[in-house]
Structure 1
Amino acid sequence: MVYARRSMPRAAGGEVPCRRDMPGTAPRNNGWLTTTNRSGTWVSGMGRTSAGSSDGPDEQREASEEVAAALATVGNWMFSTAARRRIMAASGLELSLGDYTLLAQISHHAPVRLSVLAEVMEVDKSTLTPPAKRLEARGFIVREPDPADARAQLVRVSRSGKLAIRKLWQARADIVAELMDDWSTAEIKKLAAQLAAFAEAIERKG
């Protein structure tokens, strides 16, 4: 079973955007994100609008729609079964999709009750019990008393679990690097800076 949450994650690589029909994408143009608008016209550009720009609210909204569509495409790929299987294979870890997803979610939210995590992931708590037991058996997660309720337990990632997460994220980075193997370092750094600025906006306003 694959678990997903609807809100955008920050560190764990997070969430699957709502699937919908997306405009097509064209090859990048000098490092800028290039997509099609609703009329089928190719448009490019991703980043902040410079001061004094003549673009009006309609142009800004259309550009924002293109960014949203591109991000949804990226998210759908990143959290697809095929992509996650590639990440797990490259990491060398023998994890099921459910175990992988739960480990990533615990890493992001820990320490956390499984019941709370089930609500966040929008699944029944009973579906988290088997993968949680497997992760605990492998020493990737540990349970500890909840200071707020002696009857409850919290789960968190152990030292071994953190090493596993590190391998997973390194494998993820390697796969992303393969997709951009024909990009220049300057282009990759430019995109990274733009996405970092967008992530910062999410932290402040999301």
Structure 2
Amino acid sequence: MGSHLPELLTALTRLTTHWSSASTQYAVAAAAGVDVDPIDIPPLYVLGLEGPARAGDLAIALRLTRPTMSKQLSRLERAGLIERAPDPTDARASIIRLSATGHDVHERLVAQGLSMVTDALSGWGRAEAALFVPQLTRFVEALTDIPTATAIGEGRPPTRS
């Protein structure tokens, strides 16, 4: 297995760089008929896939600083894509959730993403694709089972002592 690791790392780097790029996210949003700044799309994905969350938890999930997350949430709230509700467990905090418009935008972004995945798998056999999905899911789960951003300083790399 070791001889394939550089190739795997290269493929993973290409995938994450491509998918997370502003130009790719802009193209996905445009194709979905969504007018959202590409930088503000990841919180929509997380809220749509995982449900309501506190701003701090979103920042950790997205590996962002709290000030950056706050700016994104302010833009999304002004655009009418999210709503804030009081956190029943902490009066100082709020729970962020997608608005009805935000749900619609999320669904259109996901539909466009699924279309891209379908296109990418178009040359694959059914059995081949059926094997790939659980393997990729297992790989991503193992790869993302690392210390959270809080444990390493709000998304900054740990410092050496």
Per the TM superposition, whether the score is higher than 0.5 is yes
Residue 62 of structure 1 pairs with residue 3 of structure 2:
yes
Instruction: Indicate how the Cα distance of structure 1 residues 124 and 165 shifts in structure 2: closer, same or farther if over 3 A, else same.
Output: same
1:63-94 alpha-carbon deviations (Å, 9 max, x no partner) = 34433332222222211222212211111111
Counterpart residue type for residue 82 of structure 2: I
Stretches of structure 2 that go unaligned for 5 or more consecutive residues are 147-161
Q: TM-score, normalised by structure 2?
A: 0.70
1:76-134 alpha-carbon deviations (Å, 9 max, x no partner) = 22112222122111111111112212322334554333244335544443433443234
Residue 189 of structure 1 pairs with residue 130 of structure 2:
yes
Larger Rg: 1
SS at match of 1:150: strand
Aligned to 1:5: none
CA distance in 1, matches of 2:143, 2:100: 29
Aligned residues, how many? 146
CA distance in 2, matches of 1:108, 1:190: 23
SS at match of 2:53: coil
1:175-194 alpha-carbon deviations (Å, 9 max, x no partner) = 23333433333433332243
SS at match of 1:151: strand
- Residue 150 of structure 1, aligned match among 91, 101, 112: 91
Aligned to 1:74: 15
SS at match of 1:183: coil
Query: Aligned-pair RMSD on alpha carbons?
Result: 2.9
Residue 99 of structure 1 pairs with residue 33 of structure 2:
no
Stretches of structure 1 that go unaligned for 5 or more consecutive residues are 1-59
Percent identity between matched residues is 27
Aligned to 1:85: 26
Q: TM-score, normalised by structure 1?
A: 0.57
SS at match of 1:143: strand
